[in-house]
Amino acid sequence: MSFRSKIAKAEHRSPTYWEYAKRQFAKNKRALYAFYVVVVLLFIAIFADLLANDKPIVMQYKGSWYAPVFKEYIVDFGIGKWPVDFINIKWKDLETDVAIWPPVAYNPTTQDKSVPAYATPMTQGDNGRHFLGTDKLGRDVAAGMIHGTRIAISVGVVAMSIAFVIGVFLGTLAGFFGDDKLKVARIRLLLNICFLPFAYFYGFMVRFSVWKDAIATSTFSFLVQLVWSLCLFAIVLLIPNLLAIPLKRIKHFGKKLTIPLDILLTRFIEIVVSIPVLVLILVIVAVAKPSIYNVMIIIGLVSWTNIARFIRAELLKIRQLDYMEATEALGYSNWQKMLRHAIPNALAPVFISVAFGIAAAILVEAFLSFLGIGVPVDAITWGKLLNLSRSNYDAWWLAVFPGMAIFITVTAFNLIGEGLTDALDPKLKK
């Protein structure tokens, strides 16, 4: 077959489900424009340090070329040091041969003492114009908006990534196995039930003080201790499973029982849903050390229930389809059936939930920042900028620009969610 005939065949073949969904999404102009807005926000978030910084992007100094913005990353990671000439200096006063500056020549925490408090937009400062004005301390609002974009997008994406993993895992177990497919030997079930309190005690209860100190220290310490606790929990539960191997050979002990996994996980989801999420977040962030990473993790740990419900409902339908019965006839293991066939075909509604979830996570982070809870003092976010407007109602720019950013971002993700709902709904296919 010639190359031209292959192209002709590809043009006349029926579109796949995802190709059809892409075309349907492109027809929704509001969702498409919202997608472009999100792309712009992602660009700003990724290149925030190149868009707003009090250091040159590239400069020539004493005949040598330097990239201070990128050098700062190396120094922060602890794998490099600043040259002696660049320690405790004001970069604008450095006599450079050539210097390329960011469009906004300020850091979000840089205090410009050459301008009055609450300088209006377009006021000229030491390093350049304050395009969106300043706050009471002379900090540039445009720089805060740019770096606040990175925090907002990061919180939304990371939090929903955590929620996605938890929700897909639990929802898949509930939907794929249902109440009748998971069978466990009687002795294995009995031993696991007996050892479960010990696993919880040695994995979590004994280490409660360690957890408390880790949360107060840093997010990294908390994650390390969480991994250790999970490892101890798994090690203790490994004992009954090893004991069950020889014991299940006994006829009475080896008899398999059906575990109603779906109803157990569904009731667990209902319990989590019944907890007031905002109150829970406020309690945790009040105890934990202020950190953006803590906010991401906490929002992710309480936002997975809708994802679990969606994928569970899809898998309850998918497991009855012909191709799933074919995988059973071919002798595929449960893990092969789940990972290769069930989950990929059940993710469509999950993406819709993730889009709406990112918008909700950004709104929660803005709310916490506005209250000054869970966010470090030196972190500049949209919510914190919005809160600064309360101290001077005449500084309208402190309310308008962050408020517009929150509104546009949340609206864009909600419109994308609506576009995905229309594009991924098979009932709309003609």
Per-position b or e across 193-203, b if 16+ CB within 10 A of its CB: eebeeebeeeb
Burial, 121: exposed, middle or buried (Cβ in 10 Å; 0-12, 13-18, 19+)? middle
The CA dihedral of 341, 346, 351, 357, to the nearest 10 degrees, is -120
Sorted by sequence, the CB contacts under 8 Å of residue 364 that are 6+ apart come out as 278, 281, 299
CA 403 to chain centre: 22
- pLDDT by residue for the chain (430 residues), tens only, comes to 554 454 455 455 566 767 777 888 888 899 999 999 999 999 999 999 999 998 888 988 888 888 888 888 887 766 778 887 787 788 887 888 888 899 998 989 888 888 888 899 998 988 888 999 999 888 999 999 999 999 999 999 989 998 999 999 899 888 888 888 778 888 888 888 888 888 888 887 887 777 667 766 655 676 778 788 888 888 988 998 888 888 888 877 888 888 888 898 899 888 888 887 777 777 777 777 777 877 888 888 888 998 999 898 888 888 777 777 777 777 777 777 777 778 888 888 888 889 999 999 999 888 888 888 777 877 889 999 998 888 888 889 999 999 999 999 999 999 998 888 888 765 544 4
| Alpha-carbon gap, residue 39 to 166, rounded angstroms | 26
CB-count burial class (<10 Å; 0-12, 13-18, 19+) for 302: buried
Q: Which amino acid type is present at position 133?
A: G
- Residue type, position 96, single letter: T
Q: Where are the alpha helices (H) located in 118-207, listed in sequence order?
A: 141-177, 186-200
Token pair 């936002």 in the structure block, residue: 303
CA–CA distances in Å: residue 261 to residues 26, 122, 163, 289: 40, 61, 20, 37
Residue 7: per-residue pLDDT = 46
How many Cβ atoms sit within 10 Å of the Cβ of residue 424?
A: 20
pTM for this model (two decimals): 0.81
Distances (CA, A) of 190 to 186, 263, 427: 6, 19, 46
Terminal CA-CA length for the chain: 32
Q: Is the dihedral of CA 144, 150, 154, 156 positive or negative?
A: positive
User: Is 286 in contact with 213 (CB distance < 8 Å)?
Assistant: no
The 8-class DSSP code of residue 111 comes to B
pLDDT tens column, 88-128: 788 887 888 888 899 998 989 888 888 888 899 998 988 88
Q: Residue 258's beta-bridge partner residues?
A: 183
DSSP 369-397: HHHT-SS-TT---HHHHHHHGGG-TT-TH
Quick: pLDDT tens for 50-92: 999 988 889 888 888 888 888 888 877 667 788 877 877 888 8
Domain ranges within the chain, ordered by starting residue: 14-52+108-180+259-430, 54-101, 183-258
DSSP 270-311: HHHHHS-HHHHHHHHHHHSPP-HHHHHHHHHHTS-HHHHHHH
Burial class of residue 301 (count of CB atoms within 10 Å of its CB; 0-12, 13-18, 19+): middle
Residue 301: closest CA among 160, 152, 150, 154: 160
Q: Vertex 287, ends 281 and 289: CA angle to 5°?
A: 100
Angle between helices 292-301 and 219-247 (to 10 degrees): 40
The answer to whether residues 426 and 346 touch, using CB atoms and an 8 Å cutoff, is no
Q: What is the pLDDT of residue 404?
A: 95
Centre a 10 Å sphere on the Cβ of residue 150 and count the other Cβ atoms it contains.
20
On whether the CB atoms of residues 286 and 373 are closer than 8 A, the answer is yes
Work out whether the CA dihedral 10, 15, 18, 23 comes out positive or negative.
positive
Phi and psi based region of residue 332 (left: phi greater than 0; alpha: psi -120 to 50; beta: remaining): beta
Residue type for position 138: G
- Confidence (pLDDT) at 428: 42
Q: Which pLDDT value is given to residue 426?
A: 53
The tokens describing 192, both together, are: 């696991």
Superfamily of chain region 14-52+108-180+259-430? MetI-like (1.10.3720.10)
**CA 164, 165, 166, 169 torsion-angle sign:** positive
